[in-house]
């Protein structure tokens, strides 16, 4: 197990609860003689903190561990920024579901303390890169840990597009769009659209149509190394968008091409040693916790 000494801290902006947890975390880490480095935006929430401040890029270079205080969206943002640095990330939940940020604030000192003492498990999660081109010229680029989504934007019209997987034509579809999800994202937007839950260890990508104009269109699970290519119908009159983790939108037009592939860098996600994917699903998705004795 790695020895963590330099701890980077990133918090979600605009939340009183996050500030409270940041103060608690800061006090604990300093009491335990760890070197704490605050992300520069996070530092603005703790006036008079007296700590070193750094950009996310620099945090990735000088820290042994990053602790994210917020919801899953906060961890998604940190993961996109820090993937290349290959630094482990630990999440403290101040959001809603908390599939990725799985330490409760009420257990912060105990659970974080155990992780820092080496009592943790580590997962490797892959990300997706999305490249959009128009007449072979770059149009936009984005990275996603959860999903890349083709959607109508502000338009209410269906999108016509062709789907290719590894160069093989799959189908022409008219729908509200397509969700291209990693296993990490399979419990997020993909799940809401009827996609399958995938274990995080799977090297697979799921494609989930959004309200397709056919009853036979179903989610498809493909190898994680596959190249997904979408070509917007040239006769399409609306201008759909590509979003990455719901944060970055790339405006597309008729004939534009979107290529989605696995990113060469993976994130290192840290959990307390008792973390269990199925237990998380039971808790977060409301699965039955036991079977009544007959």
Token readout for 51 is 């700590």
Catalytic residue among 41, 72, 233, 274: 72
Q: Strand order of the sheet with strand 204-210?
A: 220-223, 204-210, 177-181, 147-151, 241-244, 248-251
5 is in an annotated binding site: no
| Ligand-binding site membership of 74 (annotated) | no
Question: What token pair was written down for 35?
Answer: 């070197």
39 DSSP β-pair partners? 54
**Active-site residue 245, yes or no?**
no
- Is 239 assigned to a binding site? no
28 is in an annotated binding site: no
SS3 3: coil
Whether the CB-CB separation of 190 and 234 falls below 8 Å is answered with: no
Q: Which residues contact 274 (CB under 8 A, 6 or more apart)?
A: none
DSSP 65-100: EEEEEE-HHHHHHHHHHHGGGT-EEEEEE-SSS-SS
* 188 known member of a binding site: yes
Q: Please report, in angstroms and rounded to a whole number, the separation of the first and last CA atoms in the chain.
A: 45
Task: Determine if residue 190 is labeled as part of a ligand binding site.
Answer: yes
The reply, when asked if residue 187 is annotated as ligand binding, is yes
235 marked as part of a ligand binding site = no
Q: Tell whether residue 182 is among the known ligand binding residues.
A: no
**Does 41 count as an annotated binding residue?**
no
Mapped onto helix, strand or coil, the DSSP state of residue 108 is helix
Angstrom distance (rounded) from CA 79 to CA 184: 12
**Residue 72 marked in a binding site:** yes
d(Cα 182, Cα 165) in Å, to the nearest integer? 15
- Tell me if 166 is assigned to a ligand binding site: no
Please tell me whether 249 is known to bind a ligand: no
> What residue numbers does the annotated binding site cover?
72-73, 146-147, 157, 174, 176, 187-192, 247
Q: Hey, which residues are catalytic here?
A: 72
> What residue numbers does the annotated binding site for NAD(+) cover?
72-73, 146-147, 157, 174, 176, 187-192, 247
């Amino acid at each position: 197990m790695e020895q963590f000494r330099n701890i980077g801290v990133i918090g979600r902006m605009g939340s009183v609860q996050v500030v409270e947890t940041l103060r608690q975390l800061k006090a604990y880490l300093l009491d335990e003689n760890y070197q704490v480095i605050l992300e520069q935006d996070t530092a603005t929430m703790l006036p008079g903190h007296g700590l070193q401040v750094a950009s996310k890029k620099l945090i990735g270079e000088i820290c042994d561990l990053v602790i994210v205080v917020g919801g899953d969206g906060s961890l998604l943002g940190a993961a996109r920024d820090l993937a290349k640095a290959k630094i482990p990330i630990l999440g403290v939940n101040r959001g809603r579901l908390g599939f990725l940020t799985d330490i409760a604030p009420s257990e912060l000192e105990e659970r974080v303390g155990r992780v820092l003492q080496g009592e943790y498990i580590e997962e490797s999660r892959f990300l997706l890169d999305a490249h959009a081109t128009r007449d072979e010229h770059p149009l936009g680029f984005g990275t996603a840990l959860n999903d890349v989504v083709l959607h109508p934007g502000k338009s209410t019209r269906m999108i016509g597009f062709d789907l290719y997987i590894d160069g093989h034509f799959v189908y022409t579809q008219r729908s509200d769009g397509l969700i291209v999800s990693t296993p990490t994202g399979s419990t997020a937007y993909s799940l809401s659209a009827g996609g399958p839950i995938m274990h995080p260890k799977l090297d697979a990508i799921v494609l989930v149509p959004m309200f397709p104009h056919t009853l036979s269109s179903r989610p498809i699970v493909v190898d994680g190394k596959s190249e997904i290519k979408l070509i917007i119908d040239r006769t399409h009159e609306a201008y759909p968008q590509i979003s990455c983790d719901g944060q970055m939108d790339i405006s597309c037009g008729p004939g534009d091409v979107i290529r989605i592939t696995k990113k060469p860098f993976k994130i290192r996600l840290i959990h307390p040693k008792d973390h269990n994917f199925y237990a998380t699903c039971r808790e977060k998705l409301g699965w039955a916790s036991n079977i009544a004795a007959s």
